[in-house]
């Protein structure tokens, strides 16, 4: 007897018939009817009209029938919310059924009915089930909390379900623990506030690790994934956790293995990399990763994408395992391509011979995409491992001889890169390349070939003929090819001016007159003018030395890589994109690797990560403001036109390199010594300032622009006053893969009219991974516009990558000027003059200073003491200060010996500066 017969009824009046069957007295008939209903529902027929009749069948002791009715309810309750209420009673009753399977079923189903009215009734039964004596019910109830949170998060928080869920973390049954962890992780991830609602403590972690040994494979995945979000307090804890997780690497389930790898990779960051433990852990990680490659292709693919990340983060782990990534004939194409990628990453001097012979093998395969990638891989090997370059080139030549069209084209593209990496070494092969000129039909290959001809025009006898042949169809070419052709002919002309004048005129007129591509026209005009005004300069520009291309191509940015390491095994690691890029709606918390335990003590400049929340207005309005400022205020920063240097990219902008040296003198010359000295002085101030308490208070540098927002540029900084001059001390760290240059800075209008007094001078180009300090003198003569809060400064920083915007807070004390001392009588008169409602009172807590130290400390920061009195055991201080914009602030301090709190009363004609002044006091006295 089979179930397929339930699908067969298709006659008219079906619903009516079912209705009568559902109301049949016989149980068997009823069950049959419900099965028919479910069958219709499965194939997509609307059977919602039967709702009341089906719900009537709910009260039954037959578990199978009950399950089917519940299934129906889950599907149709949303469309019939009013009638769904009818079912509530049965649910509540079932939650108290003696059979635990029924209790669990009821809770499970109720959570799946997304009708507000029903969720109200769910709370009580759920609360009971969370404390049920049967673990099966508890584990189902745990998941139900997550379901409820998804429907109505505030209800879960109000009803205290989160605490109950937390209690389940220490349940005696491992599966209950696992489900509770899974539910909590989901709730944390989706919490609207963005911060986790439930923090993990070392105690809960310990409990989870115990449950890990006993629960199902899926439970282990939940637990490991949530452990990955935990940050151990210290090295010792990280190490002991790692030790307890390592056995999971031998689990048969790939998900368990990958999740364990994730936790280990993350915690390893905290351990010193030279320790014995890390070395042994690195050894242990390799075999399980290799084993993943013998699983099903889909799992293999996930594993390979993750291995790709791991290899970039810790190349040591798999450096001896090259062979396992050799492509098998039957591998699906997606596995093949991924393996190839990893092979190149692992290629080194030791194994390059093996890799090359494999790659050569692949280059003769059938699949076009795969072959192309294999050829490209040979080129990358040559660029990565210098010793192998010669063999790679000869391999590529062999491949060109096969005359397979796409192989030849691909080979020419990579040979161009090899020429750039090792100039003047392999040019002897040019003649072979020229033989294949006619077969090239892809723009990239054509462009590469034209570049080669132009670059080595002096060695190719018939270069002019070759280029001329390309010129015939100039208008039909791809713009990439057109640009290359233009440059190549100009190069040719500069090298052999005698017989190519005609050619160059032809191409220049084609580019400037017949083309509507602005890039091409502009480049044509520049060449034209250069050639007509100063051919020597043209030579210098066009034939300038080119920067070498970098060795490793298409690596992920370090910050992104670190984030992805935290997402090993998840979709993000498969896409190589942060989750925010593909998950809708929820912003979530960006994950980052824990800082190494030692890094903190080594770094001199401590970039505080807990930056004060800067109030940043919407991007568009900010940009608008900055634009309007451009017209009004004086533009200080000379904007050096430094086009992006295309490292390793196929379309080489030769002009860019040349122009850079011509125009970008300011940007590329090293910062003048004065700025260097100033910044090092600032550093010294940073180090000695706080403990010695003898210098001006300098707030520690805060991160203003994190690397992930600054396209790899990380800016931290602070404001400081030196010798009566206001400075903005900045640290630029380049966390991207390419050098940065062409830095410039601009401020938006602000409350104090702050504006740069001289152009920004940063080390340029700034190589990847390097941080440079800069000290920017500031003037207060700029346009004024009141900001909210008052001390906000909106800044735009530009480099060759982009223009970045951020906002920072100017600490008020940096604005206290040196001539802020008021005459005693004037002080008294002013104090009386200012109305009482302008007086603001604050308490500075937890400072143990006598009146004298307060006087001297404030004096160093341009706050001057006018008078000091002792009233009833209290020291009263009267102080004055003046801001850069001429606003006077009068202060009264009450200091009680032995009392850590100081009362500060402020009076000023513009009371809205009071808050900032109080902050300044607070910082200086605590500093």
Partner 1 sequence: MAAVTKQNVNAAMVFEFMLKVIDVMQSYFGKISEENIKNNFVLIYELLDEILDFGYPQNTDTGVLKTFITQQGIKSQTKEEQAQITSQVTGQIGWRREGIKYRRNELFLDVLEYVNLLMSPQGQVLSAHVAGKVVMKSYLSGMPECKFGINDKIVMEAKGKGMTTEDPARSGKPVVVIDDCQFHQCVKLSKFETEHSISFIPPDGEFELMRYRTTKDISLPFRVIPLVREVGRTKMEVKVVLKSNFKQSLLGQKIEVKIPTPLNTSGVQLICLKGKAKYKASENAIVWKIKRMAGLKETQLSAEIELLETDTKKKWTRPPISMNFEVPFAPSGFKVRYLKVFESKLNYSDHDVIKWVRYIGRSGLYETRC
Of residues 192-231, which lie at the interface with partner 1 (CB under 8 A)?
213-214, 216-218, 221-222, 225
Nearer to partner 1 by Cβ, of 422 and 575: the residue is 575
CB of 355 to partner 1, least distance (A): 12
Q: Which two tokens stand for residue 524?
A: 């044509």
Residue 403 is a binding residue for partner 1 (CB under 8 A): yes
Q: How far apart are CA 666 and CA 638, in angstroms?
A: 8
Q: Which two tokens stand for residue 568?
A: 């090993």
Pick one of 129, 168, 176, 343: the residue that binds partner 1 (CB under 8 A). 176
Interface mask (CB under 8 A) for partner 1, residues 20-39, using x and -? ---------------x--xx
Nearer to partner 1 by Cβ, of 579 and 717: the residue is 579
Segment contacting partner 1 (CB under 8 A): 138-146, 230-238, 372-380, 864-872? 138-146
Nearer to partner 1 by Cβ, of 591 and 722: the residue is 591
Q: How far apart are CA 922 and CA 699, in angstroms?
A: 12
The 3-state secondary structure of 764-825 reads CCECCCCEEEEEEEEECCCCECCCCCCCEEEEEEECCCCEEEEEEECCHHHHECCCCCCCHH
Segment contacting partner 1 (CB under 8 A): 47-55, 321-329, 444-452, 833-841? 321-329
Cβ neighbourhood burial of 227 (10 Å; 0-12, 13-18, 19+)? buried
Rg of the chain over CA atoms, in angstroms? 36
Which of 589, 591, 592, 579 is CA-nearest to residue 188? 589
Q: How far apart are CA 569 and CA 564, in angstroms?
A: 10
Residues 553-592 that bind partner 1 (CB under 8 A): 567, 569-574, 579, 582-584
Residue 724: left (phi > 0), alpha (psi -120 to 50), or beta?
Answer: left
Helix (H) or strand (E) holding 894, with range, is strand 888-895
CB of 258 to partner 1, least distance (A): 5
Nearer to partner 1 by Cβ, of 402 and 859: the residue is 402
Residues 732-771 that bind partner 1 (CB under 8 A): none
Residue 690 DSSP SS3: helix
Interface mask (CB under 8 A) for partner 1, residues 420-449, using x and -? ------------------------------
Nearer to partner 1 by Cβ, of 187 and 737: the residue is 187
Residues 687-726 that bind partner 1 (CB under 8 A): none
CB of 52 to partner 1, least distance (A): 22
Nearer to partner 1 by Cβ, of 318 and 699: the residue is 318
CB of 329 to partner 1, least distance (A): 6
CB of 17 to partner 1, least distance (A): 20
Residues 53-112 that bind partner 1 (CB under 8 A): 61-64, 67-68, 71, 98-101, 104, 108, 111-112
| Pairing status of strand 725-734 against strand 771-779 | antiparallel
Answer for the pair 73, 48: CB distance below 8 angstroms, yes or no. Answer: no
Q: How far apart are CA 538 and CA 241, in angstroms?
A: 64
Residue 348 is a binding residue for partner 1 (CB under 8 A): no
Answer for the pair 726, 884: CB distance below 8 angstroms, yes or no. Answer: yes
Q: How far apart are CA 560 and CA 554, in angstroms?
A: 13
Pick one of 136, 277, 334, 647: the residue that binds partner 1 (CB under 8 A). 136
Pick one of 40, 119, 140, 559: the residue that binds partner 1 (CB under 8 A). 140
Nearer to partner 1 by Cβ, of 294 and 896: the residue is 294
Residues 594-633 that bind partner 1 (CB under 8 A): none
Q: How far apart are CA 709 and CA 721, in angstroms?
A: 29
Residues 253-312 that bind partner 1 (CB under 8 A): 253-255, 257-259, 287-288, 290-291, 294, 296, 298-299, 302-303
Nearer to partner 1 by Cβ, of 67 and 711: the residue is 67
Pick one of 9, 59, 273, 402: the residue that binds partner 1 (CB under 8 A). 402
Pick one of 76, 87, 135, 352: the residue that binds partner 1 (CB under 8 A). 135
Please, which residues bridge with residue 895 across strands? 875, 902
Nearer to partner 1 by Cβ, of 128 and 868: the residue is 128
Q: How far apart are CA 9 and CA 657, in angstroms?
A: 76
Neighbours of 824 (CB within 10 A): 12
Taking each helix axis from N to C end, the angle separating 405-421 and 368-384, rounded to the nearest 10 degrees, works out to 20
Answer for the pair 430, 424: CB distance below 8 angstroms, yes or no. Answer: no
Residues 356-385 that bind partner 1 (CB under 8 A): 358, 361, 364-366
Nearer to partner 1 by Cβ, of 6 and 831: the residue is 6
Nearer to partner 1 by Cβ, of 7 and 688: the residue is 7
Pick one of 78, 117, 323, 425: the residue that binds partner 1 (CB under 8 A). 323
Helix (H) or strand (E) holding 880, with range, is strand 874-882
Residues 6 or more apart from 809 whose CB is under 8 A from it?
A: 612, 614, 789, 791, 792, 793
């Amino acid at each position: 007897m089979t179930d397929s017969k339930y699908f067969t009824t298709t006659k008219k009046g079906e619903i009516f018939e079912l209705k009568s069957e559902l109301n049949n007295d016989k149980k068997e008939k009823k069950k049959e009817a419900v099965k028919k209903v479910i069958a219709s529902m499965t194939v997509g027929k609307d059977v919602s009209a039967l709702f009341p009749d089906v719900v009537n069948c709910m009260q039954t002791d037959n578990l199978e029938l009950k399950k089917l009715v519940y299934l129906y309810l889950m599907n149709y309750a949303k469309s019939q919310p009013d009638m769904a209420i009818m079912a509530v009673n049965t649910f509540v009753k079932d939650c108290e059924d003696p059979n635990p399977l029924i209790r669990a079923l009821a809770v499970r189903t109720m959570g799946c009915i997304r009708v507000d009215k029903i969720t109200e009734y769910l709370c009580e039964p759920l609360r009971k089930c969370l404390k049920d004596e049967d673990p099966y019910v508890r584990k189902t109830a745990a998941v139900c909390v997550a379901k409820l949170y998804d429907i109505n998060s505030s209800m879960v928080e109000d009803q205290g379900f989160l605490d109950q869920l937390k209690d389940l973390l220490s349940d005696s049954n491992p599966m209950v623990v696992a489900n509770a962890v899974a539910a909590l992780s989901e709730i944390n991830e989706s919490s609207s506030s963005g911060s986790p609602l439930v923090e993990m403590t070392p105690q809960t972690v310990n409990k989870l690790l115990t449950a890990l040994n006993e629960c199902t494979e899926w439970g282990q995945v939940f637990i490991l994934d949530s452990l990955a979000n935990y940050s151990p307090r210290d090295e010792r804890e990280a190490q002991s956790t790692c030790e307890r997780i390592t056995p999971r690497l031998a689990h048969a389930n790939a998900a368990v293995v990958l999740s364990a790898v994730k936790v280990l990779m993350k915690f390893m960051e905290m351990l010193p990399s030279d320790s014995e433990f890390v070395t042994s852990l690195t050894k242990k990680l390799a075999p399980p990763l290799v084993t993943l490659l013998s699983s099903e292709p889909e799992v293999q693919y996930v594993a390979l994408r993750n291995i790709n990340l791991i290899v970039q983060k810790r190349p040591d782990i798999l450096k001896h395992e090259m062979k396992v990534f050799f492509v098998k004939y039957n591998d699906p194409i997606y596995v093949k391509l991924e393996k190839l990628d990893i092979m190149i990453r692992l290629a080194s001097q030791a194994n390059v011979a093996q890799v090359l012979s494999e790659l050569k093998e692949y280059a003769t395969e059938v699949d076009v995409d795969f072959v192309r990638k294999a050829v490209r891989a040979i080129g990358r090997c040559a660029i990565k491992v210098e010793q192998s370059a010669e063999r790679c080139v000869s391999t590529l030549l062999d491949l060109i001889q096969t005359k397979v069209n796409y192989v030849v084209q691909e080979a020419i593209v990579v040979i161009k890169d090899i020429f750039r990496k090792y100039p003047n070494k392999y040019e002897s092969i040019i003649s072979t390349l020229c033989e294949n000129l006619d077969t090239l039909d892809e723009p990239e290959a054509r462009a590469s070939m034209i570049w080669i001809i132009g670059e080595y025009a002096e060695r190719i006898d018939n270069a002019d003929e070759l280029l001329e042949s390309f010129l015939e169809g100039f208008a039909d070419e791809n713009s990439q090819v057109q640009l290359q052709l233009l440059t190549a002919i100009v190069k040719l002309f500069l090298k052999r001016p005698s017989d190519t004048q005609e050619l160059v005129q032809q191409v220049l007129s084609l580019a400037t007159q017949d083309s509507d591509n602005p890039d091409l026209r502009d480049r044509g005009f520049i060449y034209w003018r250069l050639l007509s005004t100063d051919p020597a300069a043209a030579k210098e520009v066009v034939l300038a030395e080119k920067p070498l291309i970098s060795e490793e191509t298409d690596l992920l940015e370090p910050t992104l890589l670190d984030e992805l390491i935290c997402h090993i095994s998840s979709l993000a690691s498969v896409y190589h994109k942060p989750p925010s890029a593909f998950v809708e709606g929820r912003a979530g918390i960006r994950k980052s690797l824990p800082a190494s335990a030692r890094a903190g003590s080594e770094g001199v400049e401590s970039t505080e990560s807990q930056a004060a929340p800067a109030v940043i207005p919407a991007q568009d309005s900010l940009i608008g403001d900055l634009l309007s400022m451009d017209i009004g205020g004086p533009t200080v920063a000379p904007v050096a036109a430094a086009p992006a240097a295309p490292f390793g990219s196929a379309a080489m902008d030769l002009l860019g390199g040349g122009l850079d040296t011509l125009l970008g003198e300011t940007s590329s010359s090293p910062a003048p010594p004065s700025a260097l000295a100033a910044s090092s002085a600032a550093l010294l101030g940073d180090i000695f300032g706080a403990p010695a308490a003898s210098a001006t208070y300098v707030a520690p540098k805060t991160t203003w622009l994190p690397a992930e927002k600054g396209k790899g540029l990380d800016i931290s900084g602070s404001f400081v006053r030196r010798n009566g001059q206001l400075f903005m001390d900045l640290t630029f760290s380049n966390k991207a893969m390419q050098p940065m240059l062409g830095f410039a800075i601009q401020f938006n209008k602000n409350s104090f009219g702050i504006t740069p007094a001289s152009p920004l001078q940063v080390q340029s180009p700034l190589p990847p991974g390097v941080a440079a300090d800069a000290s920017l003198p500031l003037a207060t003569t700029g346009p004024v516009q009141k900001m909210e809060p008052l001390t906000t400064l909106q800044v735009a920083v530009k480099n060759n990558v982009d223009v970045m915007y951020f906002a920072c807070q100017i600490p008020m004390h940096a604005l206290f000027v040196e001539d802020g001392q008021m005459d005693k009588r004037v002080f008294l008169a002013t104090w009386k003059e200012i109305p009482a409602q302008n007086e603001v009172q604050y308490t500075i807590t937890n400072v143990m200073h006598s009146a004298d130290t307060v006087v001297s400390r404030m004096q160093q920061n341009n706050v001057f003491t006018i008078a000091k009195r002792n009233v009833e055991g209290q020291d009263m201080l009267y102080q004055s200060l003046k801001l850069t914009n001429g606003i006077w602030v009068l202060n009264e301090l009450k200091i009680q010996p032995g009392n850590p709190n100081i009362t500060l009363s402020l009076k000023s004609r513009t009371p809205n500066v009071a808050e900032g002044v109080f902050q300044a006091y607070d910082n200086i006295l605590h500093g």
